[in-house]
A and B are shown apart, each in its own frame.
Chain A
């Protein structure tokens, strides 16, 4: 294996199956670091990573911060309500200011799609997209792929090519879909998106999924992985949305639907869960099916892997 062939992690569609497997295999190696008494290695000592979160996020930022700290990188949290944009500074000027601090990598979260590209262009350093608008959220997709790899491919011996993954819920507003669908397709999975027509994008075919369905109960028996999206009330923007109760009845994964599922089907959710809306407590806490907390742990592992690969590949990048 030569050096890692990417400088940024913005569009997961640019990553080949080999690249994704490199990230997953590297992530697995970091388990050992996270499960011993001293949960820290000196690998990124002296590197400064900026977590530029222009949109509130607690979980993703915490996960990145833990990954940075366990690799001994220095983390600077930048953003929130104190951002310079409030004072009228342009994004490019903000990024150039950050770069004048001599930083080595920027993790960026923004409410607007495409901002990570701008940040990459203005900064010249590696950029990791931590979620931009409705566009992409590549580390989320990688942690989902890691979880599926661990539970299905490694534990049960089912290859990615034989897995049918259903993504259920608010497909239209989801940036998780923007990275997860291309990632699953690159790995060879069959992908079905399921949701109410009002929460589907106008052209669901551009998502890249194999099938688009509107009736959860008819799809459920075929799925090896049921990926429940969060109903993002803050992002609905007045979409014609039924009541939460009606949504839960039609598209919630509930105890009653357990019998429709394959006996070994997994339940994933990117968190935070609206209990009683997309998942009921029976499913959210299901000891055999729910891998929600495994996903959280996988988040730390794949973010460590991404930081390691993007910063470590630097010198050999042009070679």
Chain B
């Protein structure tokens, strides 16, 4: 059951099982570099829009949008995408919670930079691409992730990567962010057998969304 491995966000599992692979300042520097890379590859910010995948990717997308507008001096369209209706594991995924999609601009003809926290099997990105295509027809879609942990099950790769973190399938790689968790870090922890890899729990809802990032 998602969330089981972490009974409460206040009391993480014993520290011996947890390894911090990125701290707050490393995350900051990675995001700044990715912002520059996005601008370089797209020759500026004119045709791009950022779309983050809830529940952590949307916050990273906002952080990237802030950096891009600080560099270029112009606002980048920003949206968030919920993929719960596009998952391929609806039958086995027991949390019925649907988050909201909010893309307040026309994506037709734009270059969409999808943003997620951890790239793992690629199934979330597959679902996000389907969801995006049902909303409109972007001219191109690029992918930015903070962590690439390997173990891809689909032919999907990221265009911008904060850090490659080799991990085993028995581990969970999670991103904590200052805005919701009080502190920013990327952690690896071992999972109990039967647990699903999942995003860090959101304190408000105590739910886990988007397991196989």
Docked CA distance A32–B82 (Å)? 11
Q: Does A233 contact B (CB under 8 A)?
A: no
Docked CA distance A240–B171 (Å)? 72
Q: Does A87 contact B (CB under 8 A)?
A: no
Can you spell out 5 A-B residue pairs with CB atoms less than 8 angstroms apart?
Answer: A1-B97, A22-B96, A36-B134, A38-B135, A42-B86
Is the pair A315, B91 in contact by a Cβ cutoff of 8 Å? yes
Residue of A nearest to B133 (CB): A38
Is the pair B90, A313 in contact by a Cβ cutoff of 8 Å? no
> Residues of A at under 8 Å CB distance from B?
1-4, 22, 26, 29-30, 32-33, 36-38, 40-44, 71, 308-309, 312-316, 319
Cβ of A36: which chain B residues have Cβ within 8 Å of it?
134-135
Chain B interface size band reads 20 to 34
Is the pair A314, B95 in contact by a Cβ cutoff of 8 Å? no
Cβ of B87: which chain A residues have Cβ within 8 Å of it?
43
Q: Does B14 contact A (CB under 8 A)?
A: no
Q: Does B205 contact A (CB under 8 A)?
A: yes
Is the pair A313, B96 in contact by a Cβ cutoff of 8 Å? yes
- Report the minimal beta-carbon distance from A275 to chain B, rounded to whole angstroms: 37
Is the pair B96, A3 in contact by a Cβ cutoff of 8 Å? yes
Docked CA distance A42–B90 (Å)? 10
| Selected contact of A308 from candidates B94, B96, B134, B206, CB within 8 Å | B96
Is the pair A41, B94 in contact by a Cβ cutoff of 8 Å? no
| Selected contact of A313 from candidates B94, B131, B135, CB within 8 Å | B94
Docked CA distance A3–B95 (Å)? 5
- Report the minimal beta-carbon distance from A311 to chain B, rounded to whole angstroms: 8
- Report the minimal beta-carbon distance from B91 to chain A, rounded to whole angstroms: 6
Residue of A nearest to B88 (CB): A42
| Selected contact of B86 from candidates A2, A4, A41, A308, CB within 8 Å | A41
Is the pair B98, A2 in contact by a Cβ cutoff of 8 Å? no
9 tightest Cβ-Cβ pairs between the two chains A and B: A316-B94, A41-B85, A29-B98, A38-B134, A3-B94, A43-B85, A312-B96, A4-B96, A309-B96
Given A1-B96, A41-B85, A312-B90, 11 more A-B residue pairs with CB atoms under 8 Å apart are A1-B95, A1-B205, A30-B98, A32-B102, A37-B136, A41-B86, A312-B96, A314-B91, A315-B92, A316-B1, A316-B94
Name the residue in A29, A71, A313, A314 with the highest tally of chain B Cβ atoms < 10 Å from its Cβ: A29
Name the residue in A1, A38, A40, A308 with the highest tally of chain B Cβ atoms < 10 Å from its Cβ: A1
Docked CA distance A33–B206 (Å)? 25
A1-B207, A42-B85 known; A32 vs B94 contact (CB < 8 Å): no
| Selected contact of A29 from candidates B90, B99, B131, CB within 8 Å | B99
Docked CA distance A3–B1 (Å)? 10
Is the pair B96, A32 in contact by a Cβ cutoff of 8 Å? no
Q: Does B9 contact A (CB under 8 A)?
A: no
Q: Does B100 contact A (CB under 8 A)?
A: yes
Cβ of B167: which chain A residues have Cβ within 8 Å of it?
none
Q: Does B37 contact A (CB under 8 A)?
A: no
- Report the minimal beta-carbon distance from B198 to chain A, rounded to whole angstroms: 14
Is the pair A41, B134 in contact by a Cβ cutoff of 8 Å? yes
**B70-111 to A contact mask, C-beta < 8 Å, 1/0:** 000000000000100111001111111111111000000000
Is the pair A2, B95 in contact by a Cβ cutoff of 8 Å? yes
A40-B134, A41-B85, A43-B86 known; A32 vs B95 contact (CB < 8 Å): no
- Report the minimal beta-carbon distance from A256 to chain B, rounded to whole angstroms: 43
Docked CA distance A316–B1 (Å)? 9
- Report the minimal beta-carbon distance from B130 to chain A, rounded to whole angstroms: 7
Cβ of B86: which chain A residues have Cβ within 8 Å of it?
41-43
- Report the minimal beta-carbon distance from B180 to chain A, rounded to whole angstroms: 17
Cβ of B136: which chain A residues have Cβ within 8 Å of it?
37
Is the pair B134, A32 in contact by a Cβ cutoff of 8 Å? no
Docked CA distance A44–B87 (Å)? 10
Cβ of A40: which chain B residues have Cβ within 8 Å of it?
134
- Report the minimal beta-carbon distance from B47 to chain A, rounded to whole angstroms: 21
Is the pair B101, A2 in contact by a Cβ cutoff of 8 Å? no
- Report the minimal beta-carbon distance from B6 to chain A, rounded to whole angstroms: 15
Is the pair B96, A315 in contact by a Cβ cutoff of 8 Å? no
Residue of A nearest to B136 (CB): A37
**B175-213 to A contact mask, C-beta < 8 Å, 1/0:** 000000000000000000000000000000111000000
Docked CA distance A38–B1 (Å)? 33
Docked CA distance A312–B90 (Å)? 6
Docked CA distance A213–B109 (Å)? 61
